[in-house]
């Protein structure tokens, strides 16, 4: 039987924090134990500290929960695991302090994603990278604590099928991706309605380099002694990011080229994506979707509004797999950006870590 874990949430009043609360409140293996936010919110009951923006109503259990500051003490020290939905401008110091306080921390912030000794884990793709934790603990002299990040929401959607294909057919040489990203990715208030109604904004600050770099770390491997990462060096990624008037769900047009030539056929690729199994499923993780990748055969799918909740928001949906006149193959993919693309990744990562014995 899976032990129920006491969970803390940093940045609990923001949009990522709200999603953590919404998902954890219905989760059988976690109990929300600590809520952290800025000093402005601290001391208030949660319902008065936040402007709740989820379509699902605020869980009763957190309404009266008193919000604390984001310090690794009191309730947080009692947590088995802490999730961070902090903004990047404050995440750096706070998250490091939590790790050093011997707390297992799963961060959604970008700050440590590029750190050479912090795993950047997409739970459906590179859960093997958890094996860097012993090195991290040794270095910082910890017995329970560690720091793991999940990836950018768009990167997460992209690497799931790419990883499945790389496993099956070897390295990709080129990946060209154009995203159409939902407004929820920008938090709240985030995108002004005057900027996005009847409009598309062809730029998202910092997003393109993140997609291009994170992909190489996630699809790379642990080094031999499990003390660092060997990034991909022979895969080129070119990303263009656009914001569209969609609430949830990042859609991407992708074109890829394999190192191996002749490349696998559309049929072979389809079969590999449909049959892709991942460690989270093998371990029986609660949030792991039945299908990590759902392949749609309809010519006009996936669509954000109709497919974002596939696998309860934990599946990546792929469609329109077809030859590319320039590279080998093109397809369209969709990820629920605030579930698998953010809070859900953190939670599923924690489930994997627990199953693998890294949370005790």
Question: By the criterion CB under 8 A, which residues form the site for a second copy?
Answer: 53-57, 174, 176, 178, 180, 183-184, 188-203, 212, 236-238, 240, 242, 244-247, 251, 253, 255, 299-306, 309-310, 319-320, 324-327, 330, 332
Can 241 be counted among the known catalytic residues? no
Pick between residue 127 and residue 332 the one whose CB is nearest to a second copy. Answer: 332
DSSP class of residue 309 equals T
User: Looking at beta carbons only, is 325 or 357 nearer to a second copy?
Assistant: 325
Residues 6+ apart with CB under 8 A from 11: 17, 36, 37, 70, 84, 85, 86, 87, 91
> CB of 15: closest distance to a second copy in angstroms?
8
Query: CA 159, CA 276: separation in Å to the nearest integer?
Result: 13
> Is position 153 annotated as part of the catalytic site?
yes
- C-beta closer to a second copy: residue 46 or 146: 46
Burial class (CB in 10 A: 0-12, 13-18, 19+), 298: exposed
Nearest to 236 by CA among 311, 331, 171: 171
Q: Which is nearer to a second copy, 54 or 97 (CB)?
A: 54
Q: Which residues pair with 36 in a beta bridge?
A: 10, 68
**Residues near 23 by beta carbon (within 8 Å), at least 6 away in sequence:** 287, 339, 343, 344, 347
Asked if 316 contacts 91 with a C-beta cutoff of 8 angstroms, the reply is: no
Q: Minimal distance in Å, beta carbon 359 to a second copy?
A: 33
How many CB atoms are closer than 10 A to CB 280? 23
CA-CA distance, 157 to 154, in Å (whole number)?
A: 5
> Which residue, 242 or 281, is less far from a second copy as judged by CB?
242
Q: Which of the following is catalytic: 27, 250, 291, 336?
A: 250
Residue of 153, 241, 291, 336 marked catalytic: 153
- Please list the active-site residues: 153, 250
């Amino acid at each position: 039987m899976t032990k129920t874990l006491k969970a803390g949430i940093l940045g609990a009043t923001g949009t990522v924090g709200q999603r953590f609360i919404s998902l954890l409140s219905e989760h059988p293996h976690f109990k929300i134990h600590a809520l952290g936010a800025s000093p402005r919110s601290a001391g208030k009951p949660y319902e008065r500290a936040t402007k709740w923006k989820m379509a699902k109503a605020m869980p009763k259990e957190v309404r009266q929960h008193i919000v604390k500051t984001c310090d690794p003490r009191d309730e947080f020290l009692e947590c088995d695991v802490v999730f961070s939905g902090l903004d990047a401008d404050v995440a750096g110091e706070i998250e490091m302090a939590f790790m050093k306080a011997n707390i297992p921390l799963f961060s959604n912030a970008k700050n440590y994603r590029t750190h050479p000794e912090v795993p950047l884990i997409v739970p459906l793709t590179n859960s093997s990278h958890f094996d860097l934790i012993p090195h991290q603990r040794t270095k910082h002299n910890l017995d329970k604590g560690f720091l793991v990040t999940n990836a950018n929401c768009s990167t997460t959607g992209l690497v799931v099928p790419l990883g499945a294909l790389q496993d099956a057919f070897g390295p990709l040489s080129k990946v060209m991706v154009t995203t159409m990203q939902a407004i929820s990715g920008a938090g709240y208030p985030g995108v002004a309605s005057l900027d996005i109604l009847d409009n598309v904004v062809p730029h998202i600050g910092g997003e393109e380099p993140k997609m291009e770099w994170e992909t190489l770390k996630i699809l790379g491997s642990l080094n031999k002694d499990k003390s660092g990462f060997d990034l991909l060096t022979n895969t080129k990624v070119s990303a263009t990011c656009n914001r569209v008037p969609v609430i949830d769900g990042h859609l991407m047009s992708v074109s890829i080229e394999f190192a191996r030539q002749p490349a696998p056929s559309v049929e072979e690729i389809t079969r590999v994506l449909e049959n892709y199994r991942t460690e989270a499923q093998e371990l029986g993780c609660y949030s792991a979707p039945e299908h990590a990748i759902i392949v749609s055969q309809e010519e006009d799918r996936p669509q954000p509004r109709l497919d974002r909740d596939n696998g309860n928001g934990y599946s990546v949906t792929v469609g329109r797999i077809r030859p590319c006149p320039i590279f080998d193959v093109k397809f369209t993919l969709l990820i629920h950006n605030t579930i698998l693309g953010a809070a859900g990744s953190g939670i599923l990562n924690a489930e994997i870590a627990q199953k693998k014995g890294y949370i005790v």
